[in-house]
Amino acid sequence: MDPSRATIKRRYDRVAPFLSLFDWLFFVPPNLRSKAVAKLDLHPGSRVLDIGCGTGKSLPHLRAAVGNTGYIYGVDISPVMLQKTEQLREHHHWHNLELIEGDATDVMVPAPLDGALFSFSYNTIPNHSGVLRHVWQMLRPGGRVVIVDAKLPPWGRTLLLPFSLWLMKNTLLGNPLIRPWEELRSITDAFHMEEFQFGSYYICCGIKLEPHKRSDR
């Protein structure tokens, strides 16, 4: 069962000051976030949504991609996380970044999106498949959803699963049993996935096709 929104908010408010340590603790590959942003195929002027933006680790890459003429929406349920992201925005004078505190299920943007990014957030979101479909509806045809996260590698699933369940429960509240790539693949015919670090991390991308280009499912 997914943790409640209140539980997630409290936990991430608590771990916000230490979040940078988790990249080191979990051996996150270098440049993984920049590679994920590259899969969005953004250009100057693009509009993108960062779901579970946290302390803003993906924002420098997103800002570089959309330039001064694009727009970034960052949504997170944790106000403490967003305070740190606000500091980042003010430091860099990013005036084309809007931060939204709240549930990703309810977020709305005023124009169709060119891309949406779940960067180490999908597995912690309650009703994650509902959030994915909600975000998908806000994409323009040709827009992309990219999910980047950790997963249990095939070679260590049996050995690592009990430890992963304990670790996620006591730290970031992620669910290692969720298979986001299958949920994204189920809503588009244009899907691809790349794995890193012997299958421990992945980036998957789905492109929203024109309705007449989709095959029947």
Count the Cβ atoms, other than its own, within 10 Å of residue 164.
Answer: 19
Question: What CATH number is associated with residue 117?
Answer: 3.40.50.150
Total structural domains within the chain: 1
- Cα gap 26→47, rounded to integer Å: 31
The three state secondary structure string of 141-209 is EEEEEEEEEECCCHHHHHHHHHHHHHHHHHCCCCCCCCCHHHHHHCCCCEEEEEEECCCCEEEEEEECC
User: Is 213 part of a structural domain of the chain?
Assistant: no
Assigned domain for 216 exists: no
Instruction: Kindly report, residue by residue over 41-78, the tens digit of the pLDDT.
Output: 999 999 999 999 999 999 999 999 999 999 999 999 99
Residue 217 lies in a domain: no
pLDDT tens-digit map of 78-121: 999 899 999 999 999 999 999 999 988 889 998 899 999 999 99
* CB 43, CB 73: distance < 8 Å: no
How much of the chain, in percent, has pLDDT values that exceed 70? Answer: 83
Domain residues for 18?
5-206
Instruction: Identify whether 211 is part of a domain.
Output: no
DSSP secondary-structure letter at 18?
Answer: G
Domain annotation covers residue 214: no
